[in-house]
Amino acid sequence: MAEQMTVVLGERRYVVERQWGVTPTSVTLGLPSQVAVDKADRVHLYQRHGPAVLVFEPDGRFAYTYGEAVADPHGIYRDPADRMFLVDRDAHQVIVTTPDGKELFRLGERHRPRWGAPFNHPTDAAVDAEGRIYVSDGYGNAMVHRFSADGRHELSWGRLGRGPGQFMTPHAVWVDRRGRVLVGDRENGRIQLFTAEGAFLLSWDGFENPMDIWIDPATDRIYVTDQVPSLHLLSGDGERLGRCRPSLNGAHGIFGDSRGNIFISEMNPPSLTKLRLLP
C-alpha cells in the first residue's frame, strides 16, 4: 500500500489525493488546464482534450459534462453569482454559463483576435464585488481588460515589458476583498497589484513562473501556484505564511471549496488533485 503524502501550508495540513474523481469509461479524461468549485461544492475540471468541462460531486462521483462550444480551454472561474467563466484562449473569447452549462453571454469576437483590444489569446477571468469583469489577455496583448457587469468594455491597461504595470504573460487574475486586482505576471516571476482603474500599486516577487491565483473568501488568504513546483500561501499584505510542494511539476490551476479543501489541476502528468484538509 502506497504511503499517504501530507503537506503543510501555514497552520493547516493536507493529504494529497492525486487522480481524484471517478471518471466513467464513456468520458475522456484529457489534459487538465484549470479548475473551479461552484457554490454546491461541485468541482469543475476544465480540460484541453475531450469534453471541455468535467463536473464531479463533492465526494468525487462523476456528475456531467458541458462546454461543447469551447475550442481551446485555458482558464475557468466561478464568480459570487455562481456563474462560470470559460476562457477560450485561441478562439479569443470568454463564454459565461450557469454551473450546468447553460450559456448566458460571451465577451469578445470569436476567432477575431485584436491587437491592443479584447482579445488576443486571453488566459483568465475574475469578477469584483460590484460585478465588474476582469480578463487577463496574456499570450498576445499582455494586458488586462475590464468590463461592466453587463459585458460592456470599459478600460484596458498594460503592455509588453518588465517594468511596473507591464507584463510578459499575464496568466492569472483575481480581485481581493479590498478591490485590488491581482495579476500573475508569469514570465516576470511576480504578482502585480492594481486598482480597479488599472493604476499600479505594488508587486510581490519570489515566484518561479506563477501560474494561478486563488483567494479563500473565508480567510482572505492568497494561494499562488508556480513551476518550482510550489504552492505559496500569503496574507493580504503579501507576508509569506507557508509554502509546500503538492504537485509533481507545477499546478496550472487552483480553487478551493467551502470545507477547506483545495483542488489543483496538473498537466504533467495529467491529474485533478485534491488537497484534503486534515483536522
DSSP string, 207-252: -SS--EEEE-TTT--EEEEETTTEEEEE-TT--EEEEE--SSS-EE
DSSP state of 3: P
> Which residues in 56-94 are b (16+ Cβ under 10 Å) and which e?
beeeeeebebbbebbeebbbbbbbeeebbbbbbbebbbb
CATH topology of domain 6-277: Neuraminidase (2.120.10)
Determine the Cα–Cα distance for residues 228 and 174; give it in Å rounded to an integer.
21
User: Is the pLDDT at 92 greater than 90, yes or no?
Assistant: yes
Please enumerate in sequence order all residues whose Cβ is within 8 A of that of 11, keeping only pairs 6 or more positions apart, or say none: none
> In the chain, where are the structural domains located?
6-277
Determine the Cα–Cα distance for residues 152 and 73; give it in Å rounded to an integer.
23
Determine the Cα–Cα distance for residues 245 and 84; give it in Å rounded to an integer.
28
**pLDDT on residue 1:** 62
Please report, rounded to a whole number, the percentage of residues in the chain having pLDDT higher than 70. 99
Average pLDDT over all residues of the chain = 97
**pLDDT on residue 193:** 98
**pLDDT on residue 17:** 98
* For range 187-197, the mean pLDDT: 98
274: nearest Cα among 65, 58, 85, 123: 58
**pLDDT on residue 28:** 86
Cell of 125: 477571468
From residue 157, alpha-carbon distances to 53, 149, 160, 168, 199 in Å are: 30, 18, 11, 13, 9
Neighbours of 239 (CB within 10 A): 10
User: Is the pLDDT at 163 greater than 90, yes or no?
Assistant: yes
The pLDDT confidence band at residue 139, using thresholds 50, 70 and 90, is: very high
DSSP state of 180: -
Determine the Cα–Cα distance for residues 178 and 164; give it in Å rounded to an integer.
20
For cell 486598482, what's the residue?
195
72 SS3 class = coil
* For range 223-237, the mean pLDDT: 98
User: Is the pLDDT at 106 greater than 70, yes or no?
Assistant: yes
